[in-house]
Amino acid sequence: MGNVQLTNVTKRYSDLLAVDGMDLDVKDGEFMTFVGPSGCGKSTTLEMVAGLTKPSNGTIEIDGSDVTDLPPKDRGIAMVFQNIALFPHMDVYDNISYGLNVRNVDKETKDEQVDRAAEILQLDGMLERMPSELSGGQRQRVGIGRAIVRNPAVFLMDEPLANLDAKLRMHMRTELQRIQRDLDVTTIYVTHDQEEAMTMSDRIAVINDGELQQVAPPLDCYNKPANVFVAGFIGSPSMNFINGTISDGAFTTEAFDLDISSSSIRTMGDNDAVIVGIRPEDVALAGTTGKPTMSRPITATVDVLEPIGEQILVYLRTEHDDSKVPTGLSDATEAVNRTTADELLMSVAPDSDITEEQEVDIAFDRRNLHFFDAVSGDAIHHGLAPAGDTTAETG
Residues found near other proteins in the complex (CB under 8 A): 47, 50-52, 71-73, 77-79, 81-89, 98-99, 102-103, 146, 150, 156
Which residue number, 149 or 273, has a Cβ lying nearer to other proteins?
149
Task: Write down the least CB distance from residue 87 to other proteins, Å.
Answer: 6
Instruction: List, as one string, the DSSP characters of 258-272.
Output: EE-TTSGGGGG--EE
Measured CA to CA, the distance from residue 184 to residue 28 in angstroms comes to 9
Which residue number, 27 or 73, has a Cβ lying nearer to other proteins?
73
Task: Write down the least CB distance from residue 85 to other proteins, Å.
Answer: 4
Which residue number, 149 or 344, has a Cβ lying nearer to other proteins?
149
End-to-end CA distance of the chain: 57
Which residue number, 100 or 316, has a Cβ lying nearer to other proteins?
100
Instruction: List, as one string, the DSSP characters of 320-370.
Output: --GGGSPP---HHHHSS----TTSEEEEE-TT----TT-EEEEEEBGGGEE
Which residue number, 52 or 325, has a Cβ lying nearer to other proteins?
52
Task: Write down the least CB distance from residue 8 to other proteins, Å.
Answer: 24
User: Count of CB atoms within 10 A of residue 25's CB?
Assistant: 13
Task: Write down the least CB distance from residue 119 to other proteins, Å.
Answer: 21
Task: Write down the least CB distance from residue 99 to other proteins, Å.
Answer: 4
How many residues belong to the chain?
A: 395
| Whether residue 237 has a cis bond before it, omega within 30° of 0 | yes
Task: Write down the least CB distance from residue 56 to other proteins, Å.
Answer: 17
Per-residue CA distances from 49 to 13, 37, 249, 264, 267 (Å): 17, 19, 48, 42, 43
Note the maximum CA span of the chain: 78
User: Count of CB atoms within 10 A of residue 213's CB?
Assistant: 24
Per-residue CA distances from 85 to 144, 222, 245 (Å): 11, 34, 52
Task: Write down the least CB distance from residue 98 to other proteins, Å.
Answer: 5
Q: What is the dihedral of CA 212, 194, 338, 295, to 10 degrees?
A: -110
Task: Write down the least CB distance from residue 72 to other proteins, Å.
Answer: 5
Three-state DSSP state, 225: coil
Which residue number, 83 or 337, has a Cβ lying nearer to other proteins?
83
Which residue number, 162 or 325, has a Cβ lying nearer to other proteins?
162
Kindly give, in sequence order, each residue whose CB lies less than 8 Å from that of residue 193, ignoring residues fewer than 6 positions away: 35, 162
Q: DSSP character for 299? A: E
- Bridge partners of residue 97, in order along the sequence: none
Q: In sequence order, which ranges of the chain are alpha helices (DSSP H)?
A: 42-50, 92-96, 98-102, 107-120, 136-148, 166-183, 194-200, 218-223, 228-233, 331-334
Task: Write down the least CB distance from residue 363 to other proteins, Å.
Answer: 50
Measured CA to CA, the distance from residue 209 to residue 185 in angstroms comes to 29
Task: Write down the least CB distance from residue 66 to other proteins, Å.
Answer: 19
Which residue number, 89 or 107, has a Cβ lying nearer to other proteins?
89
Which residue number, 87 or 291, has a Cβ lying nearer to other proteins?
87
Which residue number, 95 or 238, has a Cβ lying nearer to other proteins?
95
